Amino acid sequence: MNLLNQVKFLIRKEIVLEWRSKYAFNGILLYVVSTVFVCFLAFKSIQPITWNALFWIIMLFASVNAITKSFVQENRGRQLYYYTIASPQAIIISKIIYNILLMLLLSVIALAFYSLVFKNPVGDPLFYFISVLLGSISFATVFTMISGIASKAHNSGALMAILSFPVIIPLLIVLIKLSKNAMDGLDRSVSMDEIGVLGGINVIVIAVSLILFPYLWRE
Amino acid sequence: MTKNWWKIIASVLVLYSIIGGLLIEVPSLPILHESIRNLYFHVPMWFTMIILYLVSVIYSIKYLSSGNENDDLLAVESVNAGIIFGFLGLLTGMIWANYTWGDPWPNDPKLNSAAISTLMYMAYLVLRNSLEEEQKRARISAIYNIFAFPVMIVLLFILPRMTDSLHPGNGGNPGFGGYDLDDNMRWVFYPACLGWIMLGVWIATLRYRIRKLENSQLDS
């Protein structure tokens, strides 16, 4: 089996597994919705700048929780089995793509619910939406590799937060700036720098993940 | 003696930069005044930190390809020494900022980036402590170290250049070298950088040798 087939096969496996249980996705969805609701009850009315920051904080915690599972949920026996049938590159690529799909779906639902509960004028809704999609892709690429690293340690839940937050902060800074520009309805050409940096970081992270994952996998 | 010449040079250069840095004449500039002398202490700390982290990443890569335990020890001790220099850099910067910008922690992208990158390397040390088996610890922390390094580069060198910053050389500001550094200062600044970098490497190698001795005692 070549790499492309392996990746396709593994992604289908992830989706089928998720579809059968629907445990992870529903859990995370409920997590996001209840967090938004808690924030709504706590804040009531909100400044635009806080609105934006709060949304990204909710997304940050939701995505950490969603992606931590991607390696932890699989037991050693099953991992050994994958090791015999697929190349490590195929495994990390399939995990990244699956997490991107999961995060895209999650962020769309979260954004819809969040703007339903908190009414806030957004200057350029389409561009804001694009920045949210870019953000969810970036979260997925960074957290996939880190969850792989954290899953090797004992206390992986706490470790995941410690390891991932400093790494995600630069992305988060750029994302908040990008979405703030969209919120203020600035001209789209202003934000091209940010999109370039986001794309650059994502490419670097995926490349480094591809190189490093075989070492992480070997045990 | 043949092996230790650079340690002597390091001590001489650092001593020279302290004495020269405090005595040799500096240009009198508005706002900065005499505090410009802090340049000899604040900036070399960051250079040393970057060099030590770079050394650490190189040895992490070497560890992944060789599996030699000593490479891992060198990587972690470089990070340990680098974190010390990171804290010293923050401290000298805060003192300087307090007198020139009026606030020890102004909301400056470079400051925040430096603090975050220090957090990142502290997370590396926490990760090491959470893994007990030695080879696994070495391998996984090496992976995290290599993974974190490009992010640190983005954090320290790219993001601060995109926004307004109080630091020279960022956000469209002219670099320090362009206007403020006269020849007198160059004669102190460059030796200071070189001296502190060598001192940092010296500290890292000392710690590495202590760790190696401890390990060999454990084995026997």
ipTM for the complex shown:
0.85
Residue A183 phi/psi, 5-degree rounding, is -65, -40
For residue A6, the model assigns a pLDDT of 86
Nearest CB to A215; choose among B64, B127, B148: B64
Into how many domains does chain A fold? 1
Tell if the CB–CB gap between B143 and A212 is shorter than 8 Å.
yes
Enumerate residues 6+ apart whose C-beta is below 8 A from B73: B208, B211, B212, B215
Tell if the CB–CB gap between B140 and A146 is shorter than 8 Å.
no
Better-scored residue on pLDDT, B179 or A94: A94
| Residue among A201, A190, A179, A199 at smallest CA distance from A54 | A179
Dist. CA A13–CA A18, nearest whole Å: 9
For residue B104, the model assigns a pLDDT of 85
Q: How confident is the model at residue A207 (pLDDT cuts 50, 70, 90)?
A: very high
* Chain A residues near residue B108 by CB distance under 8 angstroms: none
| Residue among A85, A87, A94 at smallest CA distance from A14 | A94
Low-confidence ranges of chain B (pLDDT < 70): 1-2, 164, 169-181
Enumerate residues 6+ apart whose C-beta is below 8 A from B20: B40, B187, B188
Q: Does A155 touch chain B (CB under 8 A)?
A: yes
CA angle (B195, B116, A149) in 5-degree steps: 105
Dist. CA A212–CA B95, nearest whole Å: 40
Share of chain A above pLDDT 70, in %: 99
Which tokens belong to A173? 């800074």
Q: How far is CA B200 from CA A55, A94, B88, B122, B169, in A?
A: 42, 42, 12, 18, 25
Q: Containing domain of residue A35, as a range? A: 3-217
User: From the candidates B130, B133, B136, B153, which should be mutated to test the interface with A, based on the most A CB atoms within 10 A?
Assistant: B130
Which residue, chain included where needed, has tokens 């004028």?
Answer: A121
Neighbours of A188 (CB within 10 A): 14
For residue B176, the model assigns a pLDDT of 58
For residue A218, the model assigns a pLDDT of 73
User: From the candidates A141, A145, A168, A173, which should be mutated to test the interface with B, based on the most B CB atoms within 10 A?
Assistant: A173
Is A195:A178 a contact under the CB 8 Å cutoff?
Answer: yes
For residue A191, the model assigns a pLDDT of 83
Average pLDDT over residues A25-30: 87
For residue B174, the model assigns a pLDDT of 58
Which residues on chain B place their C-beta less than 8 Å from a C-beta of chain A?
64, 109, 113, 116-117, 119-120, 123, 126-127, 130-132, 136, 139-140, 142-144, 146-148, 150-151, 154-155, 158-159, 162-163
Dist. CA B167–CA A141, nearest whole Å: 32
Tell if the CB–CB gap between A167 and B148 is shorter than 8 Å.
yes
Whether residue A136 has pLDDT greater than 60: yes
Mean pLDDT of chain A: 87
